[in-house]
Chains A and B, each alone.
Chain A
């Protein structure tokens, strides 16, 4: 008997610990997979706007190498000389096939592909900001409506409709956004149909129900006594919301906004359809650009080498950012709600 109890407790404990293990493994695996890129590009990766760009660097040769190369051009079938070339793997040796005397033998040209995450990082931040600017006022309105204004017979159906909106898979938002919403946005604001603006707005519509639902829950925690006292003093509904409910539920409301921000940062599918997937810092709100999750979604399948580790670098950056944002929402703002 005692033994079974011991085993059950251990199994339950191990399952709980699994969460810690999985989260730690995500950190470690992303970091290990990103390591080649982190070592190669360092923190400069975060501010470099080149992606998959081939650059050529001229590398001056030492006297011995020049001599070796000259010998090689003279007797090109002598393959043993290749061993003397220190850059044999990734260099293009000028003059290999050339027979002329005009070849510059004092430098080697080293080609390399560089990756930088600046464009997707900016795209992620901007699309999230647009989403927040759009959804915060509307979500607050919906929450106030459900918490204070709606007549009893509307609270349940409207609340349920908002929650169903939250249950719709993100790929559906993407499809609908691309074929129905984007053309309308383009008609109003001009510019490109797939743009930062359309992606941000659809993202905003997507996080709207989530934000509204948690904000409403936070508002509903306000004790009726407080509200009734204010009404008894002659306060209007708006004054009760502004002076009683908002101050009382402030911590929960801020928490819900930050949590929604964290969700918006990592959203992939709705944005993938709409942001345009162009590696360029957007010149205006209506220009196409790209975000971190979309870079991952579009390139992961075929990537290898530096590109693969750069993608993991981006995934690592995204994970750390959302961990910090969601974590701070939990620790500072939503703690007492449990």
Chain B
């Protein structure tokens, strides 16, 4: 073994070692965050958090409010996003579809706080007050591009033969899409929607000045609406241990919700694949 060879092998070892350390570092951060959340969260967790509202020191209204807004965003955003994705994959050809596709990708990475500012200018400032609808719409704007891209990708996986068979049977194009193609892509689409829901339920920035938050139980989307994430931000900045513990409990629950939905989504994909 000459010296050049030895040097090459040594460089190789060093770089591969550093690369493995990077991966370990990534895992360290993940487990550090998860363990912190678990320890702080579980010690602050109490069954009464689920039966009392924030005003009485609980989280019930916040969890409900966050869930309702994410659900509203899904109800508004999924049909629009899926239709747009269907257009891009099944009807769109050429320049226009490509431009929309790129714009949708850009929108997916647009700063969420700017989307909050936009919704504020359009839906909050004119009506004179923060409200749950504005929060839901802000989340829907975050969700739509995710659904567009999922639909676009999932439909592209459906084999061409299915389309041809459908049309050969005399089905019109929209029937083939609705009854054959969407069914073939069902699992992928459901997973995509699940992941999009998980993404928006953890959002804070677009809700700060659209829905705000509310210490009381509320089912009226026309007023300031309870938000788990916005309240975490408020509580964490509140200088009492009680508020901070509540913030930890809320963070723990939020992370559990988001990660569980993500894991379910991934296992559905894995079972299918």
Bound Cα distance from A205 to B27, whole angstroms: 11
A165→B30 contact, CB < 8 A: yes
Per-residue 0/1 for A240-283: is the Cβ within 8 Å of any B Cβ (1 yes, 0 no)? 01000000000000000001001101111100110000000000
Determine if B91 is an interface residue (Cβ-Cβ < 8 Å): yes
Known: A4-B174, A312-B117. A164 touches B30 (CB 8 A): yes
Determine if B53 is an interface residue (Cβ-Cβ < 8 Å): no
User: In the complex, which residue of chain B has the Cβ closest to the Cβ of A178?
Assistant: B236
A13→B114 contact, CB < 8 A: no
Determine if A190 is an interface residue (Cβ-Cβ < 8 Å): no
B208→A144 contact, CB < 8 A: no
Bound Cα distance from A172 to B98, whole angstroms: 36
**Contacting chain A: which of B157-165, B184-192, B196-204?**
B196-204
Size bin of chain B's contact surface: 35 or more
Contact of A323 among B80, B106, B125, B178 (CB under 8 A): B106
Residues in B whose Cβ lies below 8 Å from that of A22: 107, 141, 144
Bound Cα distance from A165 to B23, whole angstroms: 12
Per-residue 0/1 for B76-96: is the Cβ within 8 Å of any A Cβ (1 yes, 0 no)? 000111011011101110000
Residues in B whose Cβ lies below 8 Å from that of A161: 26-27, 30
A239→B121 contact, CB < 8 A: no
Contact of B111 among A2, A322, A327, A331 (CB under 8 A): A322
Residues in A whose Cβ lies below 8 Å from that of B255: 168-169, 172
A145→B172 contact, CB < 8 A: no
A176→B27 contact, CB < 8 A: no
B233→A169 contact, CB < 8 A: no
A141→B114 contact, CB < 8 A: no
Determine if A293 is an interface residue (Cβ-Cβ < 8 Å): yes
Is chain A's interface secondary structure helix, strand, loop, or mixed overall? helix
Known: A138-B26, A150-B23. A297 touches B100 (CB 8 A): no
Min CB–CB distance B33 → chain A (angstroms): 5
Residues in A whose Cβ lies below 8 Å from that of B88: 16
Is chain B's interface secondary structure helix, strand, loop, or mixed overall? helix
Determine if A229 is an interface residue (Cβ-Cβ < 8 Å): no
Min CB–CB distance B144 → chain A (angstroms): 7
Residues in B whose Cβ lies below 8 Å from that of A268: 111-113, 204-205
Known: A16-B97, A23-B107, A172-B37. A311 touches B141 (CB 8 A): no
Bound Cα distance from A5 to B25, whole angstroms: 54
User: In the complex, which residue of chain A has the Cβ closest to the Cβ of B212?
Assistant: A301
Contact of A175 among B117, B121, B247, B262 (CB under 8 A): B247
Min CB–CB distance A211 → chain B (angstroms): 11
B109→A297 contact, CB < 8 A: no
Determine if B104 is an interface residue (Cβ-Cβ < 8 Å): yes
Known: A175-B247, A175-B248. A12 touches B87 (CB 8 A): yes
Contact of B23 among A23, A141, A176 (CB under 8 A): A141
Determine if A315 is an interface residue (Cβ-Cβ < 8 Å): yes
A171→B233 contact, CB < 8 A: yes
Determine if A55 is an interface residue (Cβ-Cβ < 8 Å): no
25 residue pairs of the A-B complex, CB under 8 angstroms, read A5-B172, A8-B177, A12-B90, A13-B87, A13-B91, A16-B87, A16-B88, A16-B92, A17-B100, A22-B144, A33-B125, A149-B19, A160-B266, A165-B30, A169-B203, A170-B202, A180-B36, A266-B109, A266-B110, A268-B205, A273-B236, A301-B208, A312-B117, A319-B114, A331-B102
Residues of A within 8 A of B (CB): 1-2, 4-5, 8-9, 11-20, 22-23, 25-26, 29-30, 32-33, 137-142, 144-146, 149-150, 158, 160-165, 167-176, 178-180, 205, 208-209, 212, 236-239, 241, 259, 262-263, 265-269, 272-273, 293, 296-297, 300-301, 311-312, 315, 318-319, 322-323, 326-327, 330-331, 338
Residues of B within 8 A of A (CB): 8-9, 11-12, 15-16, 18-23, 25-27, 29-30, 32-33, 36-37, 79-81, 83-84, 86-88, 90-92, 97, 99-107, 109-118, 120-122, 125, 141, 144-145, 148, 172-174, 177-178, 198-199, 202-205, 208-209, 212, 229, 232-233, 236, 247-248, 251, 254-255, 258-259, 262-263, 266
Q: Which 4 A-B pairs have the closest CB atoms?
A: A266-B111, A141-B22, A169-B202, A15-B83
